[in-house]
Amino acid sequence: MQPVGHHVTGGRRAGEDLARLPALRHRRTDGDRRRSLVRRAVVLGAGVALAASLAACSSSTGAAGSGSSGSGVVASTVVVHRTIVIETGKMDGRPGWPRYTPAGFTAPAGATVVLTIVNHDDGTAPLPPSSPWGQVWGADATYGETTGGTELVNGSPVRAVPNDQVSHTFTIPGLLVNVPIPAAQSSADPVTVTFTFRVTKKGTFTWLCVAPCGSGATGMGGAMDTPGWMEGHVTFT
């Protein structure tokens, strides 16, 4: 992977003290207007304790936003391909508001999912040096739900994206999945991330971007605080 320069788009500020930014947001289930809960960034050394806390606070959700389906789905030989595009604010008509489109997908539980994320955003949303969100998650089958977890950036395998080069993440806390995404060279020269994984659990799970890529002094407003932009759902049937 080629080094990515430091670009700033929207409300992002490269000189912010990002160590003070929250690492994780949840979706509430009580109404149309969602307000995010925040948690402070944690060090990568938290390891399994961090993963356990994420799994506990972001379990799978049903149509009403609560409840969980059981594990035990048998892995299959089925391979499904899903594609998500990260548009810039100029592309989606709202300057400073990058957006994942579509905001979710459905796949059979037990199948191998090849998820392609095409990022047109050339702005970085740097993470604190100690943040774990630059690491690729999904290969740890500790909870027996997700396996595989391999990431390619423009065809080259990576285990992490340097924290200061992260543009966005595709993070499913309830499945211990984290896909760090580097910035594009330009909006016309996107970066392509391919993430291959398998989920052996049925349910609907919240995904979100944990990089501060929105507006405001902390980068947590605007697109970061609006469902369907930097947050959505994936369903495994």
Q: What is the CATH number of the domain that holds 218?
A: 2.60.40.420
**Among 11-25, 28-42, 49-63, the range of highest mean pLDDT:** 49-63
pLDDT at 21 over 90: no
Decide which of 217 and 79 is more confident: 79
Evaluate whether residue 1 is within a structural domain. Answer: no
Alpha helices (runs of H) in the chain, residue ranges in sequence order: 47-57, 89-92
Give the mean pLDDT of the chain: 77
Evaluate whether residue 147 is within a structural domain. Answer: yes
Q: What is the pTM of this model?
A: 0.75
Evaluate whether residue 3 is within a structural domain. Answer: no
What tokens were used for 51? 């993963």
Q: How many domains, in total, are found in the chain? A: 1
Q: Give residue-wise pLDDT tens across range 63-91.
A: 333 234 455 788 899 999 999 999 999 99
Identify residue 66 by its one-letter amino acid code. S
Evaluate whether residue 5 is within a structural domain. Answer: no
Q: What's the sign of the alpha-carbon dihedral 190, 16, 226, 136? A: positive
Closest CA to 133 of 166, 98, 85: 166
Evaluate whether residue 74 is within a structural domain. Answer: yes
Q: Give residue-wise pLDDT tens across range 176-190.
A: 999 999 999 988 999
Evaluate whether residue 191 is within a structural domain. Answer: yes
The residue range of the domain holding 175 is 18-236
Q: How far apart are CA 166 and CA 123, in angstroms?
A: 9
Q: What is the pLDDT of residue 205?
A: 96
